[in-house]
Amino acid sequence: MPDFVPPPSAELHLHIEGTIEPEHIIEMSRRNGVPIPSMDVDELRARYAFSDLQSFLDLHYSNLTVLRTERDFFELATGYLDRAARANVRRAEIFFDPQTHIGNGTPLSVVMSGLTRALGDSERTHGISSALIMCFLRDLGAQAADEMLTAILPYREHIIGVGLDSTEIGYGPELFVDVYARAAAEGLRLVAHAGEEGGPETVAATIELLHVERIDHGIRAMEDPRVVELLRSRRIPVTVCPLSNVALRAVPSLAEHPLPRMLAEGLMVTVSSDDPPYFGGYVDANYRALVDELGMTAGDLEQLAMNSFDAAFITDAQRVHWQDEVRAHFA
């Protein structure tokens, strides 16, 4: 399929820190005087082989020590938006992990300034509408999440919602009930990672306890028909990242990925890239792999792209406009 053109879509599961390319890591290491294990791109890339989520997170957080300045965050987000535009992304709802950067000694004001400068008027500069979702690092616990929510409130106008990421096993949704309730009271939209490594019961608990509007990953929901029914009956979108799931061994191979079954079950599945340079590609590569390795049809891709706009936190007018573009793409 030499002339594959990805559909217009909304990318709803993308960690901006996870878009750092090895070339960026080396450049920022040099610029900021932060040592890294190798200054060779191929050697850095050779480390991108993972056995599970934690093995990725360990490398991911270690690479992120190079991010220090407003310029770094601006360049990071600009790099992603430029690349996503080439993948036909029309809307990007972008996760960021401020606790990581504060832990590395970078003030929140620096992070927010760099990201918001890159995203500001992104429709004009990159052809993409964009928004920020602040994630709590679940392994830092409830108290730290609560403090992070308080710290971000002066920047309330720059974020549309909160999410929950990092180590899933051992840090269940029950820890974050209060902070999610506080975020909801602030009018923030609610999403959370669940069912990437944790079982279907964690997906159900995340929905019931945190009242999230979307589930990020959610693939293990398929192991329990009651959780599938919960997602279907409440029309809760699931942001699936196929290449990520293979790279982190959440599924044995793409051919065995549950995504086709999720669509067949009538779930509102969307496709995203998670942390693209680490997992083998941006959202266009994910769509393409679904065709090449899972035999998905143009009709399936159209459904996934339509779903992405149904699941996005956008206006009705935006939804109608972009879904018309999806129909035209497949006409």
Report the C-alpha gap between 321 and 32 in whole angstroms.
Answer: 43
Decide whether 72 or 275 has the Cβ nearer to ligand ADE.
Answer: 275
HEC string of 287-328? HHHHHHHHCCCHHHHHHHHHHHHHHCCCCHHHHHHHHHHHHH
Using CB distances below 5 to 8 A depending on partner kind, what does residue 220 bind out of Zn ion, ligand ADE, none?
none
Look at residue 126 and give the partner it binds from Zn ion, ligand ADE, none, a contact being a CB closer than 5 to 8 Å depending on partner kind.
Answer: none
With binding defined as CB under 6 A, does residue 93 bind ligand ADE? no
Task: Please say if 196 is a catalytic residue.
Answer: yes
- CB-CB neighbours of 191 under 10 Å: 30
From the candidates 196, 256, 293, 325, give the one annotated as an active-site residue. Answer: 196
Q: What residues contact residue 1 under an 8 Å CB cut-off, 6+ apart? A: 288, 291, 292
- Contacted entry of ligand ADE, Zn ion, none for residue 18, CB cut-off 5 to 8 Å set by kind: ligand ADE
**Nearer to Zn ion (CB atom), residue 274 or residue 284:** 274
Nearer of residues 57 and 119 to ligand ADE, judged by Cβ: 57
Residue 162 near which of ligand ADE, Zn ion, none (CB within 5-8 Å, type-dependent) = none
Q: How far is the CB of 274 from ligand ADE (least distance, A)?
A: 5
Applying CB under 5 A, does 274 fall inside the site for Zn ion? yes
> Side chain identity at 152, as an amino acid letter?
I
Residue choice 65, 78, 166, 303 for contact with ligand ADE (CB under 6 A): 166
Kindly state the smallest distance separating residue 100's Cβ from ligand ADE, in Å. 9
Applying CB under 5 A, does 11 fall inside the site for Zn ion?
no
DSSP state of 3: T
Q: Annotate each residue in 40-59 with x if it binds ligand ADE (CB under 6 A) or - if it does not, as one string.
A: -------------x------
HEC secondary structure over 225-288: HHHHHHHHHCCCCEEECHHHHHHCCCCCCHHHCCHHHHHHCCCCEEECCECHHHHCCCHHHHHH
- CA atoms within a 13 Å half-sphere pointing along the CA-CB vector of 46: 7
Give just the sign of the alpha carbon dihedral 327, 329, 330, 331: positive
For ligand ADE, the binding residue among 122, 244, 270, 323 (CB under 6 A) is: 244
168 lies in the binding site for Zn ion (CB under 5 A): no
Rg (CA), the chain: 19
Binding site for Zn ion (CB under 5 A): 274
Catalytic residues: 196
